[in-house]
Structure 1
């Protein structure tokens, strides 16, 4: 079974819209905070710092399943649903009070910020991603 990286993200008052729900655009921020935790903090704990040198987002897609209200932190679960030589897709599920509220995907591209171009995943990065890589039968 694919391992999931789990991160709890606080919902801030500034995330709310006029209707008292988390604004649809702020979902990207919640997902971003979880993704940063995975690729900066989680990877660093495994001795890997290269993701901190640059990852850019090539694509986002989000499905909104239920409104999220201000209150307790939301739980974001992440895994890698596709991996290529120079890109990988992070899939997410966001839970509010244990109920699935949103699903999303982000296509991430390792990027050499100093030289200004995409780069391939290193073997160490592939090793870090491996437990989270979704295996399809």
Structure 2
């Protein structure tokens, strides 16, 4: 199913959507997009298929507002492209772009990467109507794993020194609720002058459940702009890359 016309929805913002920096939490953008995708299915504009992957590109922080969140959607076959925006006085500002690929997830083995696994525990509230962890909560699990990985290895970093530029998640197998935790693995795969890439996997033994890729950018909180890494930071990141 395809549509060349832009479809626009408006959603209310909530206080609970904000993070500690008073920006809309990264996972909440996925919530906005998923809510609108459900509306598109309900209106018969989109097939009710599974999701095989989703990428999220953050353009700028979104602050709390009484104005509605504007979500635009373009449907092109199995691709759904959405933008999270504000629209005030006829001027549209884009905060986030999401591309969802519809289809059946393909089972795959986890990577043979030597890194210490962390437990990833599932809550009953993570489960959706299908009986598996929802797409939104899967992004949240990756965010939790990434925060733990950074705090374990990069404890000297302060809040606001980095921002998430892009997150991508590939889904490979449903994640069911159980008492025993799954395994979360993260490692640094690339270090640039002012950015780095963290790869993450959620797995059950050798079976890969989902894979995430996060592109982090150095950030100057006072100036509200990107920054280059210091020599000390690069040395730490390079050490993590080689120690994986």
TM-score above 0.5: yes
* Contact 2:146/2:200 (<8 A) preserved: no
SS at match of 1:75: strand
Tell me which residue corresponds to 1:120: 228
* Contact 1:61/1:106 (<8 A) preserved: yes
Aligned pair count reads: 131
Using the TM superposition, give the Cα deviation of residue 97 of structure 1 relative to its aligned residue in structure 2, in angstroms. 4.7
Larger radius of gyration: 2
- The whole-number CA distance in structure 2 between the counterparts of 1:62 and 1:80 is 16
Tell me which residue corresponds to 1:10: 121
Q: For residues 97-132 of structure 1, what are the alpha-carbon distances to aligned partners after superposition, in whole Å with 9 as ceiling and x for unaligned?
A: 552111110111121222211111222222222233
Using the TM superposition, give the Cα deviation of residue 23 of structure 1 relative to its aligned residue in structure 2, in angstroms. 0.4
Do structure 1's residue 95 and structure 2's residue 203 form an aligned pair? yes
Structure 1 pair 80/38, CA: closer, same or farther in 2 (3 Å)? same
Tell me which residue corresponds to 2:157: 50
SS at match of 1:35: helix
Tell which has more relative contact order, 1 or 2 (C-alpha 8 A, sep 6+): 1
TM-score (norm 2): 0.49
Query: 1:1-137 residue pairs with structure 2 within 5 A?
Result: 4-44=115-155, 49-71=156-178, 72-133=180-241
- The whole-number CA distance in structure 2 between the counterparts of 1:118 and 1:84 is 13
Stretches of structure 1 lacking an aligned partner (at least 5 in a row): none
Using the TM superposition, give the Cα deviation of residue 134 of structure 1 relative to its aligned residue in structure 2, in angstroms. 6.3
- The whole-number CA distance in structure 1 between the counterparts of 2:122 and 2:190 is 29
TM-score (norm 1): 0.82
Q: For residues 68-117 of structure 1, what are the alpha-carbon distances to aligned partners after superposition, in whole Å with 9 as ceiling and x for unaligned?
A: 01122221111122211111111111113552111110111121222211
- The whole-number CA distance in structure 2 between the counterparts of 1:98 and 1:2 is 12
Shift >4 Å, 4+ stretches:
none
SS at match of 1:133: helix
Give the number of the structure whose residues are more often helix, by fraction: 1
- The whole-number CA distance in structure 2 between the counterparts of 1:113 and 1:98 is 40
- The whole-number CA distance in structure 1 between the counterparts of 2:171 and 2:214 is 15
Structure 1 pair 133/51, CA: closer, same or farther in 2 (3 Å)? farther
Stretches of structure 2 lacking an aligned partner (at least 5 in a row): 1-111
SS at match of 2:128: coil
